[in-house]
Amino acid sequence: MSKRFILNETSYHGSGAIKEIVSEAVSRQFKKALIVTDKDLVKFQVVKKVTDLLDEAGLAYEIFDEVMANPTIELVTNGVAAFKKSGADYMIAIGGGSPQDAAKAIGIIINNPEFADVRSLEGVAPTKNKCVPIIAVATTAGTAAETTINYVITDVQNKRKFVCVDVHDIPVVAIVDPDMMASMPKGLTAATGLDALTHAIEGYTTLGAWELADTLNLKAIGLIARSLEAACQNDPKGREDMALGQYMTGMAFSNVGLGVVHGMAHPLSAFYDTPHGIANAVLLPYVMEYNKDFTGSKFREIARAMGVSGVDAMSEAQYKQAAIDAVVTLSKNCSIPQTLREIGVKEEDLEALSEAAMADVCTGGNPRPCQKSEILDLYKKAYNG
């Protein structure tokens, strides 16, 4: 049975990588960019680092800065209109997961207008054409949306988030420049970092996992475990390692899938606008406990990658618990809430959240088959702690 692996055409890494935006735009003969971003990144002059380069090179652009956390159907519709009005022929998506996801949805609809209703793109849509070319510039070290074939859109009216998986949406160029992440506050650095760790652990244990993805995910777990706390203190080496670690797991999980942590996290964002990284971070240890007997010896390698010593002398029960404990310790050291109650989840919503999580596309990749009653029990455990 063949296994597919889809990556960006080109990616640039390291300090100063954003300078390659100009060379890529020129070599690809792009004429005008629509910059897809959010108002805070404009306000704090993160976007200016890119527009200064474009201005110096005489490259035309317009800015669409309406993106907010958890991009909505309405936002995508507005973005499609903005792209058409601008006369652009490519996009530069600047931000974390939200601007990247919005740009993917906009670009797919522009080149596949029969899917103008973004709801029709849920799951694996049969689009025929590659999306508008995207140069994706990451400003957070967590979502890895710059290198995935996935995007997530919020249906506000129905209080749900839905995942779109499309080989045609991957950005042609990814820019992973730690200098673009230096303005991230400590809390956002921690949340997005735990999001990346969730990607790596779920991608390593998902039903679709295989050796190539496992190699990337294990290396990512190690990079994240050793560098996240330093990155929270804005240490340059910590930022650089986190940028690489989150990209490596993005390469992997985009191709092998995730699990029920994400299946449960998506409804939290839809119901409460919970930041995705926080939702994942709170849920991850509870789901690891739930999955531990369905992962073979992989928790031993997770514990090892997390820096736990002496794992080869441990019993199976010991190394599984060590892996979970290492994740909890890192989460606490980064001041992440430990229960759903702490982040404003309402106990009376747990039933509806369970229904939504059961229907989420990520849940099917979980190594332990899930029932709604089990997901409800997980929510209750994560709610009470």
Residue 123 token pair: 């799951």
Identify the pLDDT of residue 191. Answer: 95
CATH number for the region 10-181 comes to 3.40.50.1970
- Considering only the C-alpha atoms of the chain, give the largest distance between any 2 of them, rounded to a whole number of Å: 64
CA distance 87 to 145: 25
CA distance 167 to 362: 17
Residue 379: C-alpha distances to residues 86, 203, 290, 374 (Å): 45, 21, 11, 9
The residues spanned by each domain of the chain are 10-181, 186-384
Identify the pLDDT of residue 235. Answer: 95
**243-257 residue pLDDT tens:** 999 999 999 999 999
Identify the pLDDT of residue 183. Answer: 87
CATH number for the region 186-384 comes to 1.20.1090.10
b/e 333-362 (16+ beta carbons within 10 angstroms → b): ebebbbebeebebeeebbeebbebbbebbb
Residue 70 token pair: 């958890």
For 5-34, the DSSP string reads ----SEEEESTTGGGHHHHHHHHTT--EEE
**313-354 residue pLDDT tens:** 999 999 999 999 999 999 999 999 999 999 999 999 999 999
CA distance 186 to 350: 30
CA distance 93 to 90: 10
Q: Residue 2: count other Cβ atoms within 10 Å of its Cβ.
A: 3
Q: Using H for helix, E for strand and C for coil, what is the string for 288-328?
A: HHHHHHHCCCHHHHHHHHCCCCCHHHCCHHHHHHHHHHHHH
Helix spans in 91-166 (H) = 97-111
Mark the ranges of the chain whose per-residue pLDDT is less than 70. none
Identify the pLDDT of residue 28. Answer: 98
Nearest of 15, 92, 12, 25 to residue 58 by alpha carbon: 25
Helix axes 276-291, 316-333, angle to 10 degrees: 170
